[in-house]
Structure 1
Amino acid sequence: MQKDFKYTKESQVVISELMLPSHSNFNGKIHGGYILSLLDQIAFACASKHSGAYCVTASVDTVDFLKPIEIGELVTMKASVNYVGRSSMVIGIRVEAENIQSGAKKHCNSSYFTMVAKDEKGNSLSVPGLILNNDDQVRRFAKSIKRKNMKTKRIQEFHETDFSSEKYLHILKDHKAKIELDS
């Protein structure tokens, strides 16, 4: 039987993985695509744990690569449910890398994945609400609402019907764009 509400800690997931040379890019740093794959996996695990159902990635709202990850570092990802809607969940993920020899840790990445719970037929499922029991959890929930509202506004702006170039000239003036319109 599914609970109506769950504590954040009930769905938290932590994974650690040693970064190998096979995970690196041409610059000798860990490839961002590899980290994105791990982020998607932990977001799935966290959302599925919260919902008790199969979950799909609806969107990757933010991925901020803050510091490079080196070969040989131990990467730890911490995921928790920051927000829930009817069938969707925003999973916040913090990525830290640790130099195993020195013990030095660095915050390398923060990400927000929107996941949706699905049934066997692919229909969206209702998910339990969140019990927020500290200031950080309240802040994360509120920030998720702000990000959701900003995303809705951004989508509305992109669906405008007036795309005449004159409307956007003021936006371009301070950027590296040379305008040569055909007459």
Structure 2
Amino acid sequence: MEKKPCIDSLVVKNSHVLPTDTNNHGTLFGGQLMAYIDDVAAIAATRHARSPVVTASTDSVDFLYPVNAGDAICLEAFVTWTKNTSMEVFVKAIKEELLTGKRAICATSFITMVALDENNKPKTVPTVYPETEEESWLHEGAEKRAERRRERRGESKDFANRFGTEFPWRRK
């Protein structure tokens, strides 16, 4: 399987933030930003794998700067690391005050996507390689981030097993 550079999966999406995209404070709904992040990550992963993908995990999304109605938001995403069937995708969200040109990074996130074959089973993906200093920095830290995700997934399974599907007051 041919190796691919990070840049081959690059996705750039721009959107105008409209009043219907905002909360009662006039800022972009966090859930809307998270949907944008998942969308561009899926496109980047699909470009890399050239197959359907599903989201396996989302690392924390920290809202660093508010995005107001009337601003533009630009999301950039690319595959930073691969392991067997999964791909780590880095997403950076930048807000721009259109009338002043002032820009700020409003969020960053890592999304793990898994490639699927024609039977919706995990499929091996090509290895990705970095070409720039920034891509190398992200690539070098990926193994550590993947380990933290595995630990967090184990904790999530523990929570699920402990609490089950019934409301606590309904348990007998």
Normalising by structure 2, we get a TM-score of: 0.86
Aligned to 2:65: 67
**In structure 2, C-alpha distance between the alignment counterparts of 1:154 and 1:98, rounded to whole Å:** 33
**2:16 alignment partner in structure 1:** 18
Structure 1 or 2, whichever has the larger Rg, is 1
Matched letter for residue 141 of structure 1? H
Q: Identity percentage over the alignment?
A: 28
Where does 1:25-104 land on structure 2 (aligned, <5 Å)? 25-104=23-102
Matching residue of 1:180: none
Indicate the SS of the match to 2:109. strand
Deviation, 1:158, is: 6.8
143-152 or 45-54, which deviates more: 143-152
**What SS does the corresponding residue of 2:61 show, helix, strand or coil?**
strand
Aligned mates of 1:154, 1:52 — CA distance in 2: 28
Give, in angstroms, the shift of residue 156 of structure 1. 5.0
Deviations 1:41-75 (Å, cap 9, x if unpaired)?
10110000000000000010221110110001010
- SS state at 1:17 partner: strand
Q: For residue 154 of structure 1, report the CA deviation from its aligned partner.
A: 4.2
1:8 to 6, 9, 30: 6
Match of 2:164 in 1: none
Following the alignment from structure 2 to structure 1, what is the Cα–Cα distance between the partners of residues 108 and 125?
A: 24
Superposition RMSD on alpha carbons, in Å?
Answer: 1.6
Q: Is the 8 A contact 1:88 1:116 kept in 2?
A: yes
1:72-111 CA distance string (max 9 Å, x none): 1010000011110101001100000111111110110001
Structure 2: stretches of 5+ with no match in the other structure: 159-172
TM-score, length-normalised on structure 1?
A: 0.81
**Equivalent residues of 1:62, 1:113 under 8 A apart:** no
* Cα gap change, 1:159 to 1:118, in 2 (>3 Å): closer
Contiguous gaps of at least 5 residues in structure 1: 161-183
Amino acid at match of 1:4: E
